[in-house]
C-alpha cells in the first residue's frame, strides 16, 4: 500500500443564500489536514456551473459528455480524487438539488472511490440526506463508508466565529471517518492503478 497522501476532495453541497455549509466545511477540512494522510481540495458548488438539464446522452453511457465550460475545473479535480467527502444539509428530508446535479453530470469520476459524509440540519443532522446519498453513490459504483459526522441543531453547536463550542466528540468522529477513508482510499487507489476499473 502506497504511503503517498491521498487526494481528498470535499464537496460543499448547498448553494442556498445564507447557507451554513462553508462553516462546516472549513471545520472538516481542518480536521482532514490535521489527520496527515490527505491533500485536501474543496469544491464549492456555489462556484461551479450546474445546469439542471443533463445532456441527451447521459454520462453513464458517454463517459466524456459535453459539459459546460464552468464545470471543467471541478470535473477535473473530482477525476483526480482518491476519496470524496460530501458536506450536506437536508432540505425537505433530502439533499440539495445542486448536489444531485453535480453527481449526475459525472459518472466515471465516482467509480471505485470511497465516499464519506458530513451532515448538518435542524433535527436530523443531515442523516436523512446521507441515507439517500448512500443509495445514489452505490448506483455509481462508489463505496460509501459506514462512518459519518453529523451536526444536529448545528446553529447551537458553533459560535459566531464558526468554531465548535465543544469540539472533542465531532473531532473524534471525524478522525474515525478519516481513518476509514484512508484505508479504503489507499486500497482502491492501488487497485485502480493495477487493474483499471471497467466502466459500463
- Tens of pLDDT, residues 155-195: 999 999 999 999 999 999 999 999 999 999 999 999 999 99
Residue 183 grid cell: 484505508
pLDDT at site 133: 98
pTM for the model stands at 0.95
Average pLDDT over residues 53-79: 86
Strand pairing partners for 115?
84, 144
* Sign, Cα dihedral of 110, 83, 16, 89: positive
Q: What's the fold here for domain 6-194? A: Rossmann fold (3.40.50)
Query: What residue segments make up the domains of the chain, in order of their start?
Result: 6-194
The pLDDT mean for the chain works out to 95
Say if residues 78 and 41 touch (Cβ distance below 8 Å).
no
pLDDT confidence of residue 121: 97
pLDDT of residue 60: 77
Burial annotation 104-138 (CB, 10 A radius, 16+ → b, else e): bbbbbbbbbbbbbbbbbbeebbbbbbbbbbbebbe
pLDDT attached to residue 90:
96
Residue-wise pLDDT for 130-156, tens only, equals 999 999 999 999 999 999 999 999 999
Residue 200 has pLDDT above 60, yes or no: no
pLDDT at 77: 98
From the list 68, 132, 144, the residue with the least C-alpha distance to 106 is 68
**What pLDDT was estimated at residue 130?**
98
- Retrieve residue 51's grid coordinates: 445546469
Nearest CA to 129 out of 87, 172, 83 is that of 87
Angle between helices 21-35 and 168-194 (to 10 degrees): 70
Amino acid at each position: 500500500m502506497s504511503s503517498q497522501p491521498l487526494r481528498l476532495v470535499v464537496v460543499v453541497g448547498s448553494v442556498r443564500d445564507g447557507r451554513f455549509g462553508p462553516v462546516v466545511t472549513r471545520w472538516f477540512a481542518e480536521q482532514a489536514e490535521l489527520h496527515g494522510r490527505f491533500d485536501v481540495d474543496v469544491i464549492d458548488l456555489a462556484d461551479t456551473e450546474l445546469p439542471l438539464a443533463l445532456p441527451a446522452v447521459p454520462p453513464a453511457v458517454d463517459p466524456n459528455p459535453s459539459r459546460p465550460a464552468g464545470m471543467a475545473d471541478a470535473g477535473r479535480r473530482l477525476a483526480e480524487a482518491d476519496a470524496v467527502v460530501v458536506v450536506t444539509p437536508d432540505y425537505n428530508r433530502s439533499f440539495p438539488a445542486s448536489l444531485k446535479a453535480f453527481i449526475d453530470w459525472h459518472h466515471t469520476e465516482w467509480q471505485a472511490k470511497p465516499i464519506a459524509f458530513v451532515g448538518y440540519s435542524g433535527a436530523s443532522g443531515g442523516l436523512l440526506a446521507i441515507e439517500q446519498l448512500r443509495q445514489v453513490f452505490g448506483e455509481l459504483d462508489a463505496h460509501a463508508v459506514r462512518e459519518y459526522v453529523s451536526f444536529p441543531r448545528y446553529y447551537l453547536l458553533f459560535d459566531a466565529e464558526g468554531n465548535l463550542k465543544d469540539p472533542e466528540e465531532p473531532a473524534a468522529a471525524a478522525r474515525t471517518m478519516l481513518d476509514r477513508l484512508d484505508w479504503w482510499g489507499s486500497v482502491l487507489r492501488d487497485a485502480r492503478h493495477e487493474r483499471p476499473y471497467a466502466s459500463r
